[in-house]
Amino acid sequence: GKAGGVKLCRSDNEIFTICESLFGHKLVTHQTGAEGKGIYRVYVEAAVPIEREIYLGLVLDRTSQRVMIVASAEGGMEIEDISAERPDSIVRATVEPAVGLQDFQCRQIAFKLGIDPALTQSMVRTLKGAYRAFREYDATMVEINPLVITGDNRILALDAKMTFDDNALFRHPNISELRDKSQEDPRESRAADRGLSYVGLEGNIGCIVNGAGLAMATMDTIKLAGGEPANFLDIGGGATPERVTKAFRLVLSDSNVQAVLVNIFAGINRCDWVAEGVVQALRQVSVNVPVIVRLAGTNVEAGQKILAKSGLPIIRATTLNEAAERSVAAWKSGNSDLKKLRAVT
């Protein structure tokens, strides 16, 4: 609502007028990023007289390895803002998976939120319903913001969203059918279609890595070296030359990318395959940014020979720290200083 996506209409004609003004335009919110998302659908619902707004969320808590309920009496705001400004106003409760969400936990949450005792049982049903949806649909997040108390003492979810575990979607074809690619990052959609795991970020150093853990470590090391990663990209266990080429095309489709770091630890993969993919990509794709490659593991010597004999301007590194430092140096200095970097490879 605060970003202009919620409009209050008082007549049918006003509904049509506002819908026409929204269609085809972009909405920029905290979730969309600076580029925003196109508006192609408008949801019309009856206005509700609101007495109170509450925030309610269910998320996976990695520390406790449990589902955590997060609630606040200050609904309608981003939970990040509430947490930063008034952390004491947030109510938290973890759910023991063996027994599920219990009524007494729901009553405690209602009490801490200052819910009218006459509405406690309704709040219990709401909380347990949200938890049931979380479990039955393999969700990773359920967020209701705001959950409101109306003037006639009803509890309603006015705005709700859910995210789901991609690995469990085979159990929920009805949810898969709801996928709207127009609301996704086009790069992430292309990556999914190619079997790659990609998340776009706002940095300048593109990352091509095998393994989610190594990809996260690579991003952290880039930041420690003074740079900003442009993406998370896990090419997985089958790093064939064709797959590496696809990864390069994807990373370079981001105009913010000013250097590309390839970091491969080959176990199932083979460094020579990856090296062939890098060489193939650089010969097929127009690459106008520095490329830094760090290989380790199976057939690493063969991979290094392929890179060395290619005659291509590839900056090589032997450790992750070295690769990150060279990536940041290449990004900061620009192409003019690449010869100096390559001279020590």
260: left (phi over 0), alpha (psi -120 to 50) or beta: beta
Nearest alpha carbon to residue 150 among 179, 119, 175, 186: 119
CA-closest candidate to residue 215, choices 206, 224, 202: 206
* List 53, 55, 198, 276, catalytic entry: 55
CA pair distance 163, 225, nearest whole angstrom: 33
Please state whether 139 falls in left (phi above 0), alpha (psi between -120 and 50) or beta.
beta
Phi then psi dihedrals of residue 257, to 5 deg: -70, 125
Rounded Cα distance between 115 and 71, Å, is: 12
Calculate ∠ Cα 225-61-179, nearest 5°.
85
Asked if 93 and 99 count as a contact pair (C-beta separation under 8 A), the reply is no
- Per DSSP, helices labelled H in the chain are 12-22, 79-85, 103-112, 120-136, 173-176, 186-193, 212-224, 241-252, 271-284, 300-309, 320-333, 338-343
- Residue 55 appears among annotated catalytic residues: yes
Spatial contact of 147 and 111, defined as CB atoms under 8 Å apart: no
Active-site residue, selected from the candidate residues 53, 74, 131, 143 = 143
- 43 classed as catalytic: no
Q: What are phi and psi of 16, to 5 degrees?
A: -65, -40
Distance CA 220, CA 201 (A): 13
Token pair in block for residue 226: 């003074």
Query: Which residues participate in catalysis according to the annotation?
Result: 55, 143
